[in-house]
Amino acid sequence: MRRVKRGVIFGLNNLSEKGFVVTQGTFDGVHKGHRSVLKQVVERAKAQNAPSMLITFHPHPRTIVQPKQWNPQILNSIEEKSNRVLQQGIDVVLVLEFTKEIAVLSPEEFVRKVLLEAIGVKEIVVGYDHRFGHKREGNFELLKSLGSSHGFGVSEIAAKEIDDIAISSTRIRKSLTEGNLGLSNDLLGYSYPVSGTVINGEKRGREIGFPTANIQVEEPLKLIPPIGVYFGMAAFDEIEIPCMVNIGKKPTVGDFPLSVEAHLLDYKGDLYDKRLELRLMKYHRAEKKFESLQYLIKQLHEDQKDATLFFNPITGVAN
C-alpha cells in the first residue's frame, strides 16, 4: 500500500498528499459501531492500494448551523477522537474548521473543492442516509452520480449498521447523563475519557495528604459525568497510573464551581501543564459535605483502600 505520514492534519492547506479512500462525519465517541465503519475504510483502502482518511469537522457543525436549537453534549474532544481513530488503522484524520463559509457550500462545490481538488479522493465510504453540503441537500444518490462523473468510487455502509450507530450514540449519552458508567463503557468499548491540562488549584489536597491534579477540560462542550468519585487511569507521557477522580464542587471546604481533579496512586512527580486523559472505569460514590475536614480525610483513606483493591484485587497493592 502507498505510504503516507500517519497522523492528524488541521486544514486543507496542510495536506500534502492526495489519493485517499475516505469517510466523513463527526464520529463522536468512536464507539463500537463507528469502529466497524473505520475497519471497512481501512479494508477498502488496502484493496485500492491507497491511504485511508477520516474527514471530520471542528467545532461540531450544529454549533454553527443550529446554535440556538441544539444543546451540545460531546463525547470526545478533537484530540480524544483523533487518537482513537488512528488506533483503528486510519492513516490520516483531516480536521476541517467548520465555518459559515463551509456551511454554505453546495454539495457539488464541496465535492469539487474538498474531495476532488484538495484530497484527490479515490473512493468514499458513507451510509445510506449520508447528507452533506448546504442545508444537507447532498445525499447518497447525488454522491454516486458525482462519483460516476468524476471517476471516484462510492461505497455504502449497510442501513442496519448506520441505525445501530445512531442508537449507540444516543444510549451512550443517556447512560452517561444518568450515571451508568458501566453501560457507557460497554457501548464505547473503552473507558470514558475526560482530558485536559493540569492547572494550579487551591492545593488543599496536598495539605491533607491527597495531592490532586486539577484538570482544565479541553473541550468546553464535553459531556461530564454526574458529580461523584470515580476510579480510573490517568494517561500521560505514554504511561498510565491508577487514580481516584472527583467530579464535583468540594462542598466540605467551600462553595466552588464544578471541577475535575485526580489523585494519582503512588505518584509524586510534577504534573503541572501536562495533558492528562482521565479514563473513568468505575463510579465509586457520591460527593458529600462532611462535618469536618477530619471526616473527609478519613473517607479519602477509605476511598484509597477501595481503589487499591479495585486495581489489584489479589494483593490489594496499587500497580
Q: Does any domain span residue 2?
A: no
User: What are the tens digits of pLDDT across the range 81-96?
Assistant: 999 999 999 999 999 9
Look at residues 304, 299, 225 and name the one whose alpha carbon lies nearest to residue 258.
Answer: 225
pLDDT score at 205 = 66
pLDDT score at 228 = 97
pLDDT score at 20 = 97
Whether 314 shows a pLDDT value over 60: the answer reads no
Shared domain check, 165 and 99: yes
Rounded distance, CA 174 to CA 27, Å?
A: 17
Catalytic residue among 141, 261, 287, 291: 261
Shared domain check, 197 and 142: no
Q: Does any domain span residue 186?
A: no
Rounded distance, CA 199 to CA 213, Å?
A: 7
Q: Is 261 a catalytic residue?
A: yes
Whether 316 shows a pLDDT value over 70: the answer reads no
Residues 183-204 as b/e (b if ≥16 CB within 10 A, e otherwise) read ebbebbebbbbbbbbbeebeeb
Shared domain check, 138 and 268: no
pLDDT grade for 169, boundaries at 50, 70 and 90: confident
Domain carrying residue 289: 192-311
Number of H helices, E strands in the chain: 10, 12
Shared domain check, 149 and 196: no
Q: How many domains does the chain have?
A: 2
pLDDT grade for 203, boundaries at 50, 70 and 90: low
Q: Does any domain span residue 167?
A: yes
Shared domain check, 207 and 168: no
Look at residues 28, 88, 26, 36 and name the one whose alpha carbon lies nearest to residue 61.
Answer: 26
> pTM of the full predicted structure?
0.89
